[in-house]
Amino acid sequence: MIIDHWIDGGRVPNSTPDQAPITDPATGHETGQVGLAASTDIDAAVASAKRAFATWRDASLARRTEIMFSFRRLLDDNRSRLAEAITTQHGKVFADALGEVQRGIEVAEFACGIPHLLRGEMTPDVSTSVDAFSMRQPLGVVAGITPFNFPIMVPMWMVPMAIACGNTFVLKPSEKDPAGSMLLAELFGDAGLPPGVLNVLHGDANAVNGLLDHPDVSAVSFVGSTPIARHIYQRATAAGKRVQALGGAKNHMVVLPDADIGQAADAAVSAGYGSAGERCMAISVVVAVGDVGDRLIPAMVERTNALRIGPGMSEQPMDMGALVTAAHRDRVRGYVDLGESEGAELVLDGRDLHVEGHPDGFWLGPCLFDRVTPDMKIYQDEIFGPVLAVVRVDTYDEAVALVNANPYGNGTAIFTNDGGAARLFQREVQVGMVGINVPIPVPMAYHSFGGWKDSLFGDTHVYGAEGVKFYTRYKAVTVRWPDPNERGVDLGFPQAT
């Protein structure tokens, strides 16, 4: 299987022989190749989007909405097909992949309301015979660079909003699991989207930098690690582009002594090991306040030991699948080795996991560390795997100080039955997304997603109302239709009268 680019409404082979392998994480076997774009491919994709913008920006809101509703229906009809593409190239289990598709559909639903979202404001008679109103207009060609861990959902955070606002789009998905983005392009085409409005360009860092430097790209959206987010923000803004670059995370879950232990244990295990920990909103640190750790950790161990780990497309439903590549599996495993050498207590060790019938899969079982301290690398670094660290503190104030001292500010959660403590926490904690007895507080599509500090570079979050702001420019218009009976030259400075 060779995965081509999607340019000008159809599949286009790569202009050079450069390719990267695609593997099934559950088997470790190569299943195909994806082309790595050269400069000619980048220019072709951007040129197609630029040509399409000349007419798409003038498409009526009624036409855009009609396409969005058709696309939403096609997404619903193809849920299983989309989820299978995710599972066979990313490795997450099928049920988790279906959940990813659903969260993407929610953004498409929000984009169906674009006539309301782009509605301006008008103030009549700001002066004699003068009215004022505002509007939002599209930017032009915009690009999206998306990560391997959500090959459907994260592109859906960007593409529907951008094109509904009247822009055209060049999507550069991860080369590790590119099939999902091609399915999205096909479905948009089936929904009636004109050729060139959405282009999919596969590639590596060369393709990313080519889009960042291209003079015809007006804006860039990115989701991925903090070092790359910083690079994209600095390089693209230096080229005069608008940028939203979402980086990494080290999400804390604070558990107060009054919390429901069963609920907190369920949440920690689900949010820590779901999708094998390959989520930017995964809980990677549990902050146990007071003596709650002595009760919480045994409950977490019991639940973790009951997890079913295996191929995501197995006939028997699994809870956790493989990691995306062998290299990433080995990197995460190295952090488990490091945690032991740093002196953390390894309560659960998943390094020797063997999945029957799949000896070459990229497996790593859940790992749980207790008595982790902030000076340890397993606390400081984003591991992005099924490794959960428990840090013990004495008081609520220490817990908040620990979260706020962390350079990341993506998401956090608190588990408690004390409404006053929860209300104080949501005000004091310095992160972009907060959950109260909710471990993964990803906002619904009508709000917006994004962190603080080193988890976000740029001024706006993605999707929701913030997404509309990012993909449009504000324009204020002042209009005078004078009384035809009034004439005369007036050289004075204009004043409201």
Q: Compute how many other C-beta atoms are within 10 angstroms of the C-beta atom of residue 242.
A: 18
**CA of 172: how far to CAs of 161, 212, 244, 295, 301, in Å?**
16, 11, 15, 46, 40
Q: Which residues of 205-241 are buried (b: 16+ CB within 10 A; e: fewer)?
A: eebbbbbbebeebbbbbbbbbbebbebbbebbbeeeb
Q: Compute how many other C-beta atoms are within 10 angstroms of the C-beta atom of residue 203.
A: 26
User: Does the annotation count 165 as an active-site position?
Assistant: no
Task: Give the whole-angstrom CA distance, residue 445 versus residue 432.
Answer: 15
Annotated active-site positions, please? 280
